């Protein structure tokens, strides 16, 4: 497996909208090897997710996994999930003001409003269809990753630029209050 370089903000290709994967190609060695590399790269960088766009492959594939993540210790666990051609549909208007960071935006975090309940339709890495309801913090993580496939970064969606912080300032001044809000969210939705 290969650790792929992760592009950072300012790289023009982070703004490309990724193309749909032909479902008949999901099981090809090329796609399967790429998925292995994407997962390896995400784990190596301690990401909670990674989208193909971030490693400059412009196909609609992303990975999500939270397993005692040191970057986001408050995130509930999420088993390794590969989403191919994901389509997210909000179930209602309930939103959570999430504080986000991104491997493509090193050093910075900011607040983004995310839907708390979404329907996720996608293919998994075996080409089987996924059709699930995802809620809470995990729904926020999914929305962040799928945004990458549309050429969007979390900072595009930060409404209040005063919420931008370095990771150091976040830990020092904002982490405590945010974790209380996350605990309420996770208690409400179980994820
Ligand atoms: Ni990101």
pLDDT at position 1 over 90: no
Correct CATH for 12-189 of 3.90.45.10, 2.60.120.620, 2.40.30.10, 3.90.600.10: 3.90.45.10
**Ligand 1 geometric centre to CA of 112 (Å):** 12
The helix or strand, by DSSP H or E, that contains position 121, with its residue range, turns out to be strand 117-123
**Given a cut of 90, is residue 3 above it in pLDDT?**
yes
In the reported structure, the alpha carbon of residue 7 is separated from the centroid of ligand 1 by a whole-number distance in angstroms of 10
Ligand 1 centre distance from Cα of residue 153 (Å)? 7
d(CA 145, CA 38): 13
Q: Where are the domains of the chain?
A: 12-189
Q: Which pairing describes strands 95-101 and 129-135: parallel, antiparallel, or unpaired? A: unpaired
Instruction: Check if 145 is active-site.
Output: yes
pLDDT at 8: 98
Residues 132, 123 contacting (CB under 8 angstroms): no
Mean per-residue pLDDT over the chain, rounded: 97
C-alpha span between 145 and 153 (Å, rounded):
9
Mean per-residue pLDDT for 173-189? 96
Residue of 13, 65, 97, 145 marked active site: 145
DSSP 59: B
Give residue 71 CA to ligand 1 midpoint distance, Å.
Answer: 12
Phi-psi group of 162: left, alpha or beta (phi > 0 → left; psi -120 to 50 → alpha; rest → beta): alpha
pTM: 0.97
CB 157 within 8 A of CB 60: no
| Paired strand residues for 189 | none
């Amino acid at each position: 497996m290969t650790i792929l370089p992760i592009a950072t903000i300012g790289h023009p290709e982070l703004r490309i909208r990724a193309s749909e994967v032909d479902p008949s190609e999901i099981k090809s060695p090329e796609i399967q090897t790429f998925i292995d590399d994407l997962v390896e790269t995400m784990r190596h960088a301690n990401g909670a997710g990674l989208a193909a766009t971030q490693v400059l492959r412009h196909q609609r594939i992303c990975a999500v996994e939270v397993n005692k993540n040191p970057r986001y210790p408050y995130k509930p666990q999420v088993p390794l999930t590969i989403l191919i051609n994901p389509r997210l549909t909000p179930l209602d208007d309930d939103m959570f003001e999430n504080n986000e960071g991104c491997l493509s935006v090193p050093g910075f975090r900011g607040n983004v409003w995310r839907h708390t309940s979404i329907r996720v339709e996608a293919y998994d890495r075996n080409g089987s269809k996924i059709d699930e309801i995802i809620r809470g913090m995990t729904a926020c993580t999914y929305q962040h990753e799928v945004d990458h496939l549309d050429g969007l970064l979390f900072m595009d969606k930060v409404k209040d630029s005063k919420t931008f912080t370095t990771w150091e300032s976040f830990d020092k001044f904002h982490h405590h209050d945010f974790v209380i809000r996350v605990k309420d969210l996770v208690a409400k939705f179980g994820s």
